[in-house]
Amino acid sequence: MTRAELIHEIKSKKTFLCVGLDPDLTKIPKHLLDAEDPIFEFCKQIVDATASYCVSFKPNNAFFEAYGLKGMASMEKTIRYIKANHPRHFVISDAKRGDIGNTSTMYAKAVFEHLDADAITVAPYMGKDSVSPFLQFPGKWAIVLALTSNEGSADFQLMEAHGMELYKQVLEKVSAWGSEENLMFVVGATKAVMLTEIRAMVPNHFLLVPGVGAQGGSLAEVCQHGLTKDVGLLINSSRGIIYASNGSDFAEAAAAEASKIARDMNAYF
């Protein structure tokens, strides 16, 4: 999906919601455990229920890989289902890869060519040759970790070197490796007040913003500091939507939560 196509979907649907798919067999409704593939069945129903209210889905690889080959097969089925049945949705593989060139190239081929996801999250700690391979696939995106919402983010991301915090150095360097057409950054919603400075550095890049909802991030604050003329944001919510209910009404409850966020987003168009 190109930048222009993503912007078109956002503006036509008046939402910039990304629904995170974090399937956990200890949390999904118990009646699904009797299905042939409980993980896929859970994700499929969540996807169908929320597709009208979002422009993106973000399967979190770890929540599938934890169940071995069956879980990884469920992830592949989920992504292929989205691509076949909701083809205008931007699919992010939340894998947080980051390794030297040859290995990154193979990670990219796995996600972009085999799974046909639109984007992958990438950790930039190993530098340019760990990120650049993901930028060589037309129409595909690398979403690079910049300023995350977890407590431990301060251990490295806020450290200063040569008068600049590390996350700002990441933004500065990485933004020169790709373009606004194939590169996004992860910025946690709990760091919303820092978005003003971030926007000064990357005024037009899309930002993937997790942390709204269960993690306590504020949609209003993120939009206040991070919106651009092209919106420029994908706001992710996972647990707050997919686990809104663990009963037989889980899909309807997920749709209701996604609808609430989408309605709040309507005000920014």
Domain map (residue ranges) of the chain: 3-266
pLDDT at residue 261 in the model: 96
Number of Cβ within 10 Å of residue 35's Cβ equals 13
Contacts of residue 203, defined as CB under 8 A and 6 or more positions apart, other chains included, come to 228
Each residue's pLDDT, cut to its tens digit, for the chain (269 residues) gives 999 999 999 999 999 999 999 999 999 999 999 999 999 999 999 999 999 999 999 999 999 999 999 999 999 999 999 999 999 999 999 999 999 989 999 999 999 999 999 999 999 999 999 999 999 999 999 999 999 988 898 999 999 988 999 999 999 999 999 999 999 999 988 777 899 999 999 999 999 999 776 566 789 999 999 999 999 999 999 999 999 999 999 999 999 999 999 999 999 99
Q: Give the distance between the most distant pair of CA atoms in the chain.
A: 57
pTM of the full structure:
0.96
Q: Which residues are catalytic, by number? A: 96
CA dihedral for 230, 216, 63, 264, sign (positive or negative): negative
- The Cα–Cα gap between 150 and 268 comes to 27
Q: What does the alpha-carbon distance between residue 173 and residue 181 come to, in Å, rounded to a whole number?
A: 16
Question: What integer pLDDT is reported at residue 71 of this predicted model?
Answer: 98
- The domain defined by 3-266 folds into TIM Barrel (3.20.20)
Half-sphere exposure at residue 203, Cβ-oriented, CA atoms within 13 angstroms: 2
